[in-house]
Amino acid sequence: MADWQEITGGITAPRGYQAAGITAGLKPSGLPDLALIFSEVEAIAAGVFTTSQVKAACVDYCRQRLQAKQSARAILCNAGQANAATGNQGWFDALESAMAIAQALNISSESVLLASTGVIGQRIKMDALRSGIPKVVAALSETGSDAAAGAIITTDLVTKSIALETTIGDRPVRIGGIAKGSGMIHPNMATMLAFVTCDAVVSPHLWQQMLARTADRSFNSITVDGDTSTNDSLIALANGQSRTPAIIEWGAEAEKLEAMLTAVCQHLAKAIARDGEGATCLIEVEVTGAHDELSARQIAKTIAGSSLVKSAIFGRDPNWGRIAAAAGRAGVTFEQENLQIKLGDFLMLENGQPLTFDRAAASAYLKKASVGAYLQQDTVLISVNVGNGYGVGKAWGCDLSYDYVKINAEYTT
């Protein structure tokens, strides 16, 4: 049983944080498009970013900032323009954005981190951003998490947020998070935007290590369409306002904090996968019996990312052969005669041998997930065992529907 409980408040649930989301005129739709997260004190900051060689200016900016100084007080995120592949002017726009929000908050620009999302090749609409900055600062609130979550989305159908609370040193410690992502999602860092706040006291080195491991077990283990973004950013702040004893080395308290951080990020990651463009259900793949966790995750990610598997799930076709084929091409060695595959409770392959199963009932299981309650009864479970090893790994994805093509065929037109 988890050693924490879910609470309300999102990214403003931890002590000492405020957030806001407003409409600044960056999106053509007129929907909210500028978000701000603010810590009342300097917070330890960690980040994991896209591995793409084509990166947004905000990614380069954050990497430089965190290399020079592992702390921050503010995260500014614009939606509507990715500010990726925009040349030198895109970099200058990022610098100006950081300076403008720093002046409005009366803090150093070195304490500002940035994120952007939207159409690649489009610069931020700086006139709209300039006029929006005083408004977003004025809107900061200890209950502003929902507004911020709504201002960072693009093609998302729902906002994504969560907050958890545990006890460390007889005092409550909280972690909250919001995220956006629906398309251009594939395991190669975070493949979306996610912001996490925490009120624990933790060393910068340990916080970065925790976040990197957490990214591998959450955002690096989701896929929608096989496309990695230019703007992927996972940023986490820890401001110490819980007044708990400092966590400066690995131990029971560090393990508990990382486990809760992982739970927050896995919830957000699953929410992103479920909200995949055109998706009708979430797919969860668990692989056991591998040599190690990395190998198990690699097989799970390959299955979750298979277009043939995803299409079969959308067609409510219990075609386990596609699952077997994906597992086999994952680049992980295992003995075929050890392979076992289950779809929900339906055992389809055992010891490498096909079994008779109720195909109509298995298809009905897939149909039921497509109309199930969001992140509750809408999950298709695929279980794969490849041997007797101790490695266990999970990955999450979604089905591939006709609407995915329609949404992305008309994205800029």
Active-site amino acid positions? 191
Element (H, E) at 234: strand 233-238
Query: What is each CA distance from 94 to 37, 103, 383, in whole angstroms?
Result: 17, 14, 45
List the structure tokens of 122.
């489009």
**Single-letter residue type at 173:** V
Nearest Cα to 169, choosing from 47, 271, 54, 257? 257
Annotate 315-326 with three-state secondary structure.
CCCCCHHHHHHH
Q: What are phi and psi of 3, to 5 degrees?
A: -90, 45
d(CA 152, CA 137): 16
Distinct helix (H) and strand (E) counts, the chain: 11, 15
List, as one string, the DSSP characters of 40-51: EEEEEEEEEE--
Which of 189, 227, 184, 396 is CA-nearest to residue 304?
A: 396
Distance between CA atoms of residues 4 and 257, nearest Å: 10
Closest CA to 100 of 120, 62, 74: 74
137: which residues sit within 8 A by CB, 6+ positions away? 20, 36, 101, 104, 105
Amino acid letter, 48: V
- Whole-angstrom CA distances from 24 to 9, 17, 83, 115 are 24, 22, 16, 16
Task: Give the C-alpha distances (Å, rounded to integers) separating 84 from 1, 61, 131.
Answer: 43, 12, 22
- Give the H/E segment covering residue 314: helix 307-314
Pick from 179, 288, 292: nearest CA to 303: 288
Give the integer Cα–Cα distance in Å for 342 and 233.
34
